[in-house]
Amino acid sequence: MDGLRIRISLPRQTLELHDRRGRLLHRYLVSTGAKGAGEQSGSFQTPRGRHLIRAKVGAGETANAVLRGRRPTGEIWTPELAVQHPNRDWILTRILWLSGREPGRNRLGEVDTMRRYIYLHGTPDSVELGVPGSHGCVRMRNADIIELFDQVPAYTPVDIVEFGVEEGTWTELGALAGPVRERVFVDEQHVPKEMEWDEYDAVSRHVVAIGSEGKAIGTGRLLPDGHIGRMAVLADWRGQGVGRALLDRLLEAASQAGMDRLVLHAQTHACGFYRSVGFVEEGPEFMEAGIPHRMMVRLS
Ligand code: COA
């Protein structure tokens, strides 16, 4: 399928597969580097940032087939084999080999994901997922890596991010979402306070992106009538996929609520951002809180 995207959240230890319109296709539990996040060769850490699938290895192998140097050894992993080789880092079933897309961050030189042989790969059933435990790779259940492998073509984008997204009510998330909106809309964009805070927060579903140490870095909301709004990412975090992750989660909430028509008032500079998940402009430009906007609509 065209336009698929993978997002791996290090704090959540999850891998999400989304389609071209942002729709969540699968969410899997994974295990990333026990030593945390990092790009340096020899660090045994999981690299961050934009990547893509460089090569797919292991098509047609049975589940638990052992791979070494990206070739099947002919062995099938069993608990008995594991006892015989207690120090082996088992790479099983399939490999999706990653390459960095950000020169200087995760590509070339001493920070090259591809030359570090960072893979998404199958792992023994006895290995715990949902907690970091690998030597830098992304471990997955064998059935999950087979399912993922069969769906994603080479060059599928893979973002490895250091935030997770929470969804909830204003009572649950307001204390986190409020300060982000205050910073972005009131301080930065000079939206009058009395316009920023309205009666719709209490009845909306909210999403908040949470970075390391529990810090809120972005937010958005979905009204009961299918209106998406208040999308805001802290300035230092823009352009790193936070907005997209928030939007994906709002689309998931809308789909769960059975909403088939979503509407938003986009600041004109952000129209491209919403277009990228299937929103289209409708009607003329108008002013709201002193900022030019367009109405945009997305049908499911
Ligand atoms: N115009 C066009 N495309 C944009 C864009 C913009 N203003 N902002 C992001 N994009 C694209 C990115 O290039 C990216 O595409 P890619 O993955 O193909 O490269 C995609 O949209 C997702 O970008 P992402 O990094 O997730 O966006 P972000 O975290 O910077 O969040 C906003 C986007 C608009 C929420 C953020 O810039 C923001 O908070 N701005 C200030 C508040 C604001 O204006 N809110 C919008 C109210 S309508």
Checking if the pLDDT of 170 tops 90, the result is yes
Q: How far apart are CA 127 and CA 138, in angstroms?
A: 12
Q: How far apart are CA 113 and CA 40, in angstroms?
A: 9
Q: Are residues 110 and 52 in the same domain?
A: yes
**What pLDDT, on the 0 to 100 scale, is given for residue 18?**
97
Distance 200 CA to ligand 1 centre (A): 23
Express as a percent the part of the chain with pLDDT over 70: 100
Q: Are residues 77 and 139 in the same domain?
A: yes
Q: Are residues 136 and 197 in the same domain?
A: no
Which of 161, 182, 203 delimits the end of a domain?
161
Atom of ligand 1 nearest to the CA of 274: 21
Looking at the 3D structure of the chain, how many domains does it have? 2
Q: Are residues 253 and 273 in the same domain?
A: yes
In this prediction, residues 136-142 reach a mean pLDDT of 98
Q: How far apart are CA 166 and CA 173, in angstroms?
A: 8
Largest interatomic CA distance in the chain: 70
Q: Are residues 180 and 294 in the same domain?
A: yes
Q: Are residues 169 and 137 in the same domain?
A: no
Atom of ligand 1 nearest to the CA of 218: 39
Q: Are residues 101 and 234 in the same domain?
A: no
Q: What is the pLDDT of residues 12-59, one digit of tens each?
A: 999 999 999 999 999 999 999 999 999 999 999 999 999 999 999 999
Q: What is the pLDDT of residues 62-76, one digit of tens each?
A: 999 999 999 999 999
Q: Are residues 23 and 134 in the same domain?
A: yes
> In 3-state terms, what secondary structure has residue 190?
coil
Which of 109, 138, 161 delimits the end of a domain?
161
Give the pLDDT band of residue 1 (cuts 50, 70, 90): low
Which of 161, 189, 224 delimits the end of a domain?
161
Q: What is the CATH number of the domain that holds 269?
A: 3.40.630.30
Checking if the pLDDT of 270 tops 80, the result is yes
**C-beta 266 within 6 A of ligand 1:** yes
**What pLDDT, on the 0 to 100 scale, is given for residue 212?**
82
Q: How far apart are CA 33 and CA 30, in angstroms?
A: 10
Name the residue range of residue 19's domain: 5-161
Task: Please state, as a whole number, how many other Cβ atoms lie within 10 Å of the Cβ of residue 219.
Answer: 27
Q: What is the pLDDT of residues 186-215, one digit of tens each?
A: 999 999 999 999 999 999 999 999 998 899
> In 3-state terms, what secondary structure has residue 44?
coil
Distance 133 CA to ligand 1 centre (A): 33
In this prediction, residues 246-254 reach a mean pLDDT of 97
